[in-house]
Amino acid sequence: MKQKKLSLSDRTFREIIKRNVLYVDKTEYIFRMLNVDDFNCCFLSRPRRFGKTLLLSTIQELFQGNREFFNGLWIDQSDYDFEKHPVLKFTMSYAKLKTPDDLADRLEFKLMEMAEDNGIRLTADSYDEMLGQLLKRMYGKHGVPAVILVDEYDSPVTTHMSNRELAKSNRDILHGFYQAMKTNIEYIRFALVTGITRFAMTSLDSGPNNFRDISLNPEYAGICGITPDELDTYFKDRFPDTLEKLKDRGSIHRDADYKELTAKILEWYDGYNWLGSENILNPYSIFTFFFLNEFDTYWPLSGKPSHLTVLARENPLDYIQPNLDGYTSYEIRKSALSSIKAVPILFHCGYLTIKNQIPAGKVLSTDITDVRTFSFRTPNKEVELDFKASLFQDAFDPDDIFFSEFSKKFPTALLDTNTVDTVNLLQDLLSAIAYEQHDPSEKHYHAVLQAAFIATGLEVLGQTHSSRGKSDMSVIIKNRVRVVIEVKYCKIESNDSKVDKTREEKELSAALDEAAAQIKGKDYAAPFRAAGCKVICLALAVRGRDKVAARFVEY
């Protein structure tokens, strides 16, 4: 068979089939939803660019009875009846909403447009009543219940997270809209609501006839994205050409075979888990990889949810240095706008994935868990390469020119054990990052400096254990050089009205003495020396927001 072309555009199912470009068949999942489980209303959360919009357009064509588009696909071989139903499809990505009335007006306009398309006249004057009236009158006209598909359901809330009042007002309007769906459930054959987050949910989580959340249902883990089996089925014919091009470019060694290529693809783009037996590969990255025949960070650089930037700026260290262990299923699904936690947001946005789960009834530390508990990790190499650097830039908004220069000069200053350059660069670094939440603590500066080093491209090991303790962080330079760093913080008392230079110098010097003594006394360099590495030890002291002192320690 002739190899099908790859489409990197956001195309509908109809366009994909008509243009005869590659489509990864997900119709078995759809059949399962409609016939096996016989779901009435579903909710699905997946990261951006994972195929939610394509899934909805596939379901739309299915319910419009366009069987010819499904020729050769799984569902065409099943006993599905392809019965026609009127379809109401909403895309909630309204970017320019300045007042709550704007969202209500958009919904009312869309409903009036849908009614006109179906030859129905609406007399209700509010979006929730209009939806109910439209559903009832469509049932009376067509004799079958309608299908409702909602794409980017959370956009009116997430797009406006910088204006919490508007976000909350938009959420209240959506509450009325989704409540009207549940009130008129008898006139709905099937409904699927998709989005990135869960915190825009209100009516979907409450009241009778709750939407079934299939986001963490193992049976639907692969409904979006690409499974390893699908990688083998749909892309294996591209392996010979891709492998040769990668070898020519030096991106993979000359003796690499298909098995090694598969392993590297999985390392870069696999790893997402929604509790299925298989991990899921990022579809946007896979299509782009086979189009360009090169390993690179495609998905992270294709955009970022605006609400993630807003939330990271509000609580930067929670997002840059998140605690990845011990989250209950309730905390993952919690939808309160007033108490949004970093890890669930990063998970829903695709920057973290489930590492493992402890089922209810199992022992966790000394306690028995009452509900499932989850730990998280970054899914793959492309996310790992971008994750902390990108969030650091969102949260702290560093000066780009300085930041670029810092990344070039700082490793040299460390290798040369140049105290003056090291101090000046670190002092300028702390002055350059505009962070609003200043936490006067040693822990804060450990995290800020570690995140800054990672963002500049340095490889940071974090706390490294010796036989007597653990250092604050270690930086890897040129493979065999380890820079062990111990940080001490000098807090400025609130009654210090002016800078006392003598006192400042004494406090910084005392902090450096303490850090140097700790490096020596706990022999932080020992593990690296034992591994045959060159070790540089650096004592750092920070006073106030950005006053830095440094001392290279030899022992």
Among the listed residues 416, 466, 420, 463, the one whose alpha carbon sits nearest the alpha carbon of residue 442: 463
Main-chain dihedrals φ then ψ at residue 486, nearest 5 degrees: -120, 125
Residues facing residue 538 across a β-bridge: 485, 552
Q: Please report whether residue 501 resides in a domain.
A: yes
Hey, how many other C-beta atoms are within 10 angstroms of the C-beta on 218? 11
Whether the Cβ atoms of residue 478 and residue 531 lie closer than 8 Å to each other? no
Amino acid at site 276 = G
Distance of CA 286 to the CA centre of its chain: 17
Q: In this structure, are 162 and 211 located in the same domain?
A: yes
CB 337 within 8 A of CB 167: yes
Helices 228-235 and 283-292: crossing angle in degrees, nearest 10, is: 30
One domain for residues 410 and 512: yes
The neighbour count for residue 384, using CB atoms within 10 Å, is 16
Which residues does 534 contact at the CB level (< 8 Å), separation at least 6? 480, 481, 482
Structure tokens at 16: 């994909």
Q: Which SS3 state, helix, strand or coil, does residue 338 take?
A: helix
Residues whose CB falls within 8 Å of the CB of residue 318, separated by 6 or more in sequence, listed in order: 341, 342
Residue 443 in any domain: the answer is yes
Q: Are residues 215 and 308 in the same domain?
A: no
Q: 3-class SS at 307?
A: helix
- Together in a domain, 33 and 105: yes
Q: Which CATH number does the domain housing residue 470 bear?
A: 3.40.1350
Last residue of a domain, one of 160, 192, 220: 220
Residues of the chain predicted below pLDDT 70:
1, 95, 202-210, 335, 360-370, 434-439, 465, 493-499
Q: Which of 350, 303, 353, 343 is nearest to 323 (CA)?
A: 343
Residue 81 lies in a domain: yes
Q: Which of 492, 502, 483, 504 is nearest to 552 (CA)?
A: 483
The answer to whether residues 309 and 411 belong to one domain is no
**According to the model, what pLDDT value does residue 333 have?**
79
Assess if residue 264 is contained within a domain. Answer: no
Residues 426 and 330 in one domain: no
Integer Cα distance of 49 and 283 in angstroms:
8
In a domain, 450, yes or no: yes
**Whether residue 135 is found in the same domain as residue 216:** yes
Q: Verify that 362 and 488 share a domain, yes or no.
A: no
Q: 220, 251, 270: which is the final residue of a domain?
A: 220
Same domain, 429 and 476: yes
Of the candidates 384, 419, 453, which is a domain's last residue?
Answer: 384
Same domain for 421 and 313: no
Q: What is the CATH number of the domain that holds 63?
A: 3.40.50
> Do 373 and 407 have their domain in common?
no
What is the pLDDT at residue 202?
66
**Same domain? 372 vs 490:** no
Domain span at residue 325 reads 302-384
Q: Which residues on adjacent β-strands are paired with residue 553?
A: 537
The domain total for the chain is: 3
Judge whether 293 lies within some domain.
no
End-to-end, the C-alpha distance of the chain in Å comes to 69
For 428, the token pair is: 């300028």
Backbone angles phi, psi at 471, to 5 degrees: -80, 165
